[in-house]
Amino acid sequence: MFAKAFMQPQKRHKTKPISLITGTCLLILILFLASLALGSVSISLTELYHLLLGKEENPAHAAILWEARLPRSVTALSTGAALALSGLLMQTLFRNPLAGPSVLGISGGSSLMVAVLLMTSSAVGMQLGALSFSLITALAAGIGAIAVLLIILAISRQFKEQYSLLLSGIMIGYLLGALESILQFQSTSEALKSYILWGMGSFSHASWLAIGIISLVTLIGFAFAWANRHSLNLFLMGDQQAQLLGLSVKHFQLRLILLSGILVAVATAFCGPIGFIGLVSPHLVRLILREADHRKIMPATLLMGGALALLADLVSRMYAIPVNAITALIGAPVVLFVIFNQRKG
């Protein structure tokens, strides 16, 4: 029932894609400026303008802007876009609007490797905590995600049905979660605290090098997905019809898994497991546009993911609330609406 409604969206009260893209870009601009100006120390728009031009009227404010707020905001924008694109690809792969970037257990691989790193030795855990989740933590998370991705790719070669792959991913996620629980039970309080903080997700730990990597991977991923937008539409029609129209379903499925997995791996490695953005962003775009055509929803989905990440990060900084708590408060009602809407339909 979900898949049927997903492939046949409602056609009434449509919004033009260009209108949504323009509105979302405006929202991103407002949120981006707000994230630079607001915080424990407020910066006026006039001073912000001067600081961005390199006129350092206040060295303390300049340091706050260039060393903390600007990198954090750019990280949120690029990571949100990456997760949104990954979510869209996963929902297309499984033809299910409730699929998300973490459905294959890839983010679970990152979590397990970070748990191993932080919890197997209290000394290592405290050292990495003091280093504020250094590149070593990001590297461990990336290795874990890629390892699970390779396992998923191997499994996908054994099954023709998407639901078998989906169930395999879910079971892998449960298995990784069980191993994490064992590590948590046996870890020291300092290591456990470091792991819990990482698991809450944050956009504040990425360096400019990390930002460059996230942005580059997101742009390459979007370029590939956009080049295959017609194939994505064919894939939604079902395996048999897509094959009749010339699409190599098995190879295309592998490419979708690989691209989505890389996007999740990079985002999770540098920012931790950020929930709901990848799941919710495509939904919001479809609800507004009343479309499932990737040519119309893909650009808006990326922008929506960036906007949601900026909003979550801004609220997180203003009220000292974990990012994942904010994304859950935003995302859970949207998912519930989709479930009840599909049931009603």
pLDDT value at position 126?
47
Segment 220-246 mean pLDDT = 88
Is the pLDDT higher at 32 or at 119? Answer: 32
Please report which confidence band the pLDDT of residue 12 belongs to, taking 50, 70 and 90 as the band edges. Answer: low
pLDDT reading at 305 higher than 90:
yes
Question: DSSP strand E in 109-266: where?
Answer: none
Segment 136-159 mean pLDDT = 78
Kindly state the tokens that stand for 48.
């912000």
Question: 112 burial class (0-12, 13-18, 19+ CB within 10 angstroms)?
Answer: buried
In 3D space, the residue among 161, 116, 156 whose CA is nearest the CA of residue 136 turns out to be 116
- CA–CA separation, 222 vs 232, rounded Å? 13
pLDDT value at position 342?
64
pLDDT value at position 134?
58
pLDDT value at position 129?
45
Please report which confidence band the pLDDT of residue 308 belongs to, taking 50, 70 and 90 as the band edges. Answer: very high
- CA–CA separation, 138 vs 272, rounded Å? 8
Residue at 118: amino acid letter: L
pLDDT value at position 115?
80
- CA–CA separation, 78 vs 74, rounded Å? 6
CA angle 343, 89, 76 (to 5 degrees): 100
pLDDT reading at 310 higher than 90:
yes
Question: In this predicted model, what pLDDT tens digit does every residue of 257-304 receive, in sequence order?
Answer: 888 888 888 888 888 888 889 889 998 998 888 888 899 999 999 999
Domains identified in the chain and CATH numbers? 7-344 (1.10.3470.10)
Question: In this predicted model, what pLDDT tens digit does every residue of 35-92 receive, in sequence order?
Answer: 998 888 888 888 888 888 877 677 888 888 888 899 999 999 999 999 999 999 988 8
- CA–CA separation, 214 vs 74, rounded Å? 10
CA angle 216, 221, 222 (to 5 degrees): 100
Is the pLDDT higher at 312 or at 43? Answer: 312
Question: In this predicted model, what pLDDT tens digit does every residue of 171-200 receive, in sequence order?
Answer: 888 888 888 888 878 777 777 777 788 778
pLDDT reading at 255 higher than 50:
yes
- CA–CA separation, 303 vs 296, rounded Å? 12
pLDDT value at position 132?
46
Question: In this predicted model, what pLDDT tens digit does every residue of 214-230 receive, in sequence order?
Answer: 999 999 999 999 999 99
Angle between helices 277-289 and 323-344 (to 10 degrees): 40
Question: In this predicted model, what pLDDT tens digit does every residue of 77-131 receive, in sequence order?
Answer: 999 999 999 999 988 888 877 777 777 777 788 888 888 877 765 544 444 444 4
Question: 151 burial class (0-12, 13-18, 19+ CB within 10 angstroms)?
Answer: middle
pLDDT value at position 42?
85
In 3D space, the residue among 334, 321, 298 whose CA is nearest the CA of residue 223 turns out to be 298
In 3D space, the residue among 83, 75, 81, 92 whose CA is nearest the CA of residue 299 turns out to be 81
Segment 329-337 mean pLDDT = 84
pLDDT value at position 345?
53
